[in-house]
């Protein structure tokens, strides 16, 4: 038995998320089906984290205990890619230490959120559309700056009573204009359920109102609990970009 680290890339549009769900096919299921075909036995995988239905990954590390000792990582990668649907790719396979854990050992996670103000037949799977004529990136960056550092993000997530602490450390968060779209990038030690989408959603509501930067701190610390700021931006613009160990 060898522990493997696989780097997955996926278009999440047609999946119910990374993790098993009763209502459809998950990325996990698709990968485990392919591994099972190769190994003729169940080979569970453990991801660095969950991604919701419709959320994509440019780099989703998973680990797995592979029951065959003689492994050629490149051959395994090729075999998996030939068995997997075209919207899931394995970009790397490495043999790792037997105690490596894709989730617990992750130190930094980076997400990107791609934004457009005009949907086309070709971008709707990969961008979220917001209604604006001009985007004041400087203003949004002021909101994002106030989220950096260590904070309790209870007011920016879907509360899960099983999780003891909602404190996260945000290394960086900023938005950048591109040719005809925008990318918001955020890196942190961990992210709570819906946290990136809630941050994006709130920033766009605040931007719509041209609210003062300090408003986001009031929302963060619960001073302003208005329902209109609790907007969860759609999943299709969200990508897990990188996970560092």
Catalytic site positions:
52
Residue 181 near a copy of itself by CB under 8 A: no
DSSP class of 7? E
CB of 56 to a copy of itself, least distance (A): 8
Of 9-17, 44-52, 141-149, 178-186: span binding a copy of itself (CB under 8 A): 9-17
Q: Which is nearer to a copy of itself, 15 or 156 (CB)?
A: 15
Decide: helix, strand or coil at residue 25.
Answer: coil
Residue 222 C-beta: closest distance to a copy of itself, Å = 37
Residue-wise burial string across 32-59, b where 16 or more C-beta atoms lie within 10 A, e elsewhere: bebbeebeeeebebebbbbbbbbbbbbb
Please report how close the Cβ of residue 63 comes to a copy of itself at its closest, in angstroms.
20
- Is 131 a binder of a copy of itself (CB under 8 A)? no
190, 163 contact by CB (below 8 A): no
- The set of residues, in sequence order, having a beta carbon less than 8 Å from that of 10 and lying 6+ positions away, is 27, 56, 57, 60, 87, 88, 89
124 binds a copy of itself (CB under 8 A): yes
**Candidate list 4, 6, 7, 11; residue touching a copy of itself; CB under 8 A:** 11
CA angle 14, 35, 238 (to 5 degrees): 30
Among the listed residues 86, 133, 162, 227, the single contact to a copy of itself using CB under 8 A:
86
CA 7/CA 93 separation, integer angstroms? 7
Smallest distance from a copy of itself to CB 135, Å: 22
Nearest to 65 by CA among 87, 95, 85, 40: 95
Does 171 engage in binding with a copy of itself (CB under 8 A)? no
Site for a copy of itself contains 114 (CB under 8 A): no
Residue from 122, 138, 162, 227 in contact with a copy of itself (CB under 8 A): 122
Task: Look at the alpha carbons of 145, 55, 31, 80 in this order and tell me if their dihedral is positive or negative.
Answer: negative
Candidate list 5, 6, 7, 10; residue touching a copy of itself; CB under 8 A: 10
Write out the two tokens for 80: 């998996």
- Is residue 102 classed as helix, strand or coil in its secondary structure? coil
Q: Applying CB under 8 A, which of residues 41, 120, 131, 180 lies at the interface with a copy of itself? A: 120
Binding positions for a copy of itself, rule: CB under 8 A: 9-11, 56, 86-89, 119-122, 124, 126
């Amino acid at each position: 038995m060898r522990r493997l680290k696989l780097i997955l890339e996926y278009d999440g549009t047609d999946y119910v998320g990374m993790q098993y769900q009763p209502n459809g096919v998950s990325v996990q299921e698709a990968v485990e089906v392919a591994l099972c075909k190769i190994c003729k036995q169940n080979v569970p995988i453990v991801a660095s984290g969950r991604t919701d239905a419709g959320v994509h990954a440019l780099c989703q590390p998973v680990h797995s205990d592979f029951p065959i000792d003689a492994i050629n990582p490149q051959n395994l990668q090729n075999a998996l890619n030939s068995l997997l649907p075209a919207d899931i790719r394995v970009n790397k396979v490495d043999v790792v230490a037997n105690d490596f854990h894709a989730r617990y050992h992750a130190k930094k996670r980076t997400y990107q959120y791609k934004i457009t103000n005009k949907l086309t037949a070709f971008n709707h799977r990969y961008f979220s559309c917001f209604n604006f004529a001009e985007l004041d990136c400087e203003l949004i960056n002021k909101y994002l700056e106030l989220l950096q550092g260590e904070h309790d993000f209870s007011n920016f997530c879907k509360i899960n009573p099983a999780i003891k602490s909602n404190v996260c450390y945000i290394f960086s968060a900023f938005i950048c204009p591109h040719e005809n779209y925008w990318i918001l990038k955020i890196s942190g030690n961990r992210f709570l359920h819906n946290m990136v989408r809630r941050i994006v959603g709130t920033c766009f509501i605040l931007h719509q109102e041209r609210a003062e930067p300090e408003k986001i701190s009031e929302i963060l610390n619960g001073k302003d609990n208005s329902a209109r700021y609790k907007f969860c931006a759609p999943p299709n613009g969200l990508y897990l970009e990188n996970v560092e160990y």
